[in-house]
């Protein structure tokens, strides 16, 4: 029996976990950040610790001596997977790839070295550093932690009077207590998901255009596949993404990258050696590209032969997030229209009757979502079928 260690047992990893647990020649161990892991009874043991506690994770790994380690859709889990896989000489992403994916400043430096097009940027340790950057480059600009995830602390600043609040928001969400200030690129926001195949390297599989929530927080609420770009620009972006991920050293597993497109130029915003969240890598990309990425990824992590690559198809699918007005919920109407819809791949609502809805400030506090096989118009109709009555 092979001993498989799965890092992060949350709802976003459910498709991966379900597929893994179907392997009868394996026994499973888990690491999760709280005491409510998905399908806990199927595991021989589940270790609970903070997602960044590498000391605790390594001790647990030494106790079980895994034959394979796997994670998806989480920067911290990916870093732990890389460390553990290298420590035990197991298949997995490299520590260097994890460092470059988890540290935006290191990634910016590597992009500079490899002549990858990126926004003007600087590392900031004080508000004076941000002010100096603003005086040199003007507004709007973006400030962000160099080492957080999920849009925590990522703020768009449009004037000097907003600078202090934006800097403090970025700083308090930075584990290293350092932030980046960078030029805001006005253009089309896109995301490209792919996979680093062992024989042919990183390949681009699915491109989406994104729309952000209103306000200064840089949080996506509408993600449409295939992205609404001109054909030549679409092809160029897909090609650029493969170059970027190759230069970043991504040679194993999922990739998830964000860009801004302006005047047919493709600017790297950030790239990670993991799948996109909210079922992006596990449901959306396999559907739109018609490639079984879970089979590929599991086989790679288990050291098995597999070659699922083919030219992606780009079937239409939309990931749409709810963004309700602030207030106390008296009742929710129309949710059954989404929950029972035959073309909805997955959905969830993160609010309920009696809850107080707060403004969206990061990926973690969006109000709910659905993934629809279809186009933007179909998604808009479905979105409007859900109504909140306020107390």
Is the pLDDT at 232 greater than 80, yes or no? Answer: yes
Query: Where would I find the beta strands (DSSP E) of 120-185?
Result: 121-124, 141-145, 155-157, 179-183
Q: Cα–Cα–Cα angle for 297, 49, 35, nearest 5°? A: 90
> Which tokens belong to 40?
């806990």
Range 39-45 average pLDDT: 97
Residue 200 buriedness (CB in 10 A; 0-12 / 13-18 / 19+): exposed
> What is the reported pLDDT for 218?
79
Q: How far apart are CA 244 and CA 112, in angstroms?
A: 11
Is the pLDDT at 300 greater than 70, yes or no? Answer: yes
Looking at the chain, how many residues does it have?
Answer: 391
Q: How far apart are CA 77 and CA 252, in angstroms?
A: 15
Residue 147 buriedness (CB in 10 A; 0-12 / 13-18 / 19+): buried
Is the pLDDT at 102 greater than 90, yes or no? Answer: yes
Comparing 9 with 365, which gets the higher pLDDT?
9
Which residue in 322, 320, 291 sits closest to 306, CA to CA? 291
Domain 318-390 fold is: Aldehyde Oxidoreductase; domain 3 (3.90.1170)
Q: How far apart are CA 307 and CA 291, in angstroms?
A: 10
Contacts with 185 (C-beta within 8 Å, 6 or more apart), sequence order: 119, 260, 262, 267, 269
Q: What is the pTM of this model?
A: 0.95
Domain 188-315 fold is: D-amino Acid Aminotransferase; Chain A, domain 1 (3.30.470)
Least confident interval from 36-45, 124-133, 208-217, 225-234: 208-217
Is the pLDDT at 265 greater than 70, yes or no? Answer: yes
Options 3.40.50.20, 3.40.50.300, 3.40.930.10, 3.10.129.10; CATH for 2-90 is 3.40.50.20
> What is the reported pLDDT for 229?
95
Which residue in 330, 332, 293, 329 sits closest to 310, CA to CA? 293
> Which tokens belong to 279?
């079922």
> What is the reported pLDDT for 216?
66
> What is the reported pLDDT for 306?
96
Options 2.130.10.30, 3.30.1490.20, 3.50.20.10, 3.30.565.10; CATH for 120-183 is 3.30.1490.20
**By the 8 A CB rule, do 110 and 102 touch?**
no
Contacts with 358 (C-beta within 8 Å, 6 or more apart), sequence order: 326, 365
Which residue in 93, 123, 92, 91 sits closest to 107, CA to CA? 123
**By the 8 A CB rule, do 183 and 141 touch?**
yes
**Tokens 């160029």 sit on residue:** 236
Mean pLDDT of the chain, nearest integer: 96
Range 337-360 average pLDDT: 95
For the chain, which residues make up each domain, given as ranges? 2-90, 120-183, 188-315, 318-390
Residue 275 buriedness (CB in 10 A; 0-12 / 13-18 / 19+): buried
Residue 131 buriedness (CB in 10 A; 0-12 / 13-18 / 19+): middle
Confidence band of 312 (pLDDT split at 50, 70, 90): very high
Residue 295 buriedness (CB in 10 A; 0-12 / 13-18 / 19+): middle
> What number of H helices and E strands is found in the chain?
12, 19
């Amino acid at each position: 029996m092979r001993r498989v260690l799965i890092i992060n047992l949350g709802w976003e990893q459910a498709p991966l976990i379900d597929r893994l647990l179907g392997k009868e020649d394996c026994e499973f161990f888990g690491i999760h950040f709280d005491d409510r892991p998905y399908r806990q009874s199927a595991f021989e043991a589940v270790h609970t610790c903070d997602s960044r506690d590498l000391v605790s994770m390594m001790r647990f790994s030494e106790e079980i001596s895994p034959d394979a380690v796997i994670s998806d859709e989480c920067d911290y889990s990916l870093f732990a997977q890389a460390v553990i896989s290298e420590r035990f000489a197991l298949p997995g992403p490299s520590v260097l790839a994890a460092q470059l994916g988890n540290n935006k400043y290191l990634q910016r430096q590597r992009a500079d070295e490899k002549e990858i097009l990126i926004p003007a940027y600087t590392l900031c340790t004080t508000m004076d550093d941000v002010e100096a950057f603003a005086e040199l480059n003007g507004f709007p600009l973006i400030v962000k932690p160099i080492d957080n995830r999920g849009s925590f602390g990522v703020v768009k600043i449009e004037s000097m009077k907003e600078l202090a609040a934006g800097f403090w928001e970025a700083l308090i969400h930075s584990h290293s207590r350092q932030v980046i200030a960078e030029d805001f690129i006005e253009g089309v926001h896109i995301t490209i998901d792919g996979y680093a195949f062992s024989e042919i390297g990183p390949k681009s599989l699915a491109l989406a255009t994104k729309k952000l929530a209103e306000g200064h927080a840089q949080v996506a609420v509408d993600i449409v596949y295939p992205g609404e770009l001109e054909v030549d620009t679409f092809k160029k972006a897909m090609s650029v993404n493969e170059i970027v991920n190759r230069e970043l050293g991504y040679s194993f597993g999922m990739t998830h990258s964000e860009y801004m497109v302006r005047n047919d130029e493709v600017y790297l915003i950030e790239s990670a050696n993991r799948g996109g969240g909210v079922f992006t890598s596990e449901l959306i990309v396999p559907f739109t590209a018609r490639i079984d990425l879970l089979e590929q990824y599991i086989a790679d992590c288990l050291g098995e032969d597999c070659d699922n690559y083919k030219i992606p198809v780009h079937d239409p699918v939309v990931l749409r997030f709810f963004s309700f007005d602030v207030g106390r919920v008296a009742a929710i109407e129309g949710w059954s229209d989404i929950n029972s819809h035959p073309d909805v791949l997955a959905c969830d609502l993160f609010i309920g009757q009696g809850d107080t809805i707060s403004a969206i400030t990061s990926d973690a506090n969006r109000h709910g979502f659905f993934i629809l096989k279809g186009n933007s118009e179909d998604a808009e109709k479905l979105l409007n079928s859900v109504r909140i009555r306020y107390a």
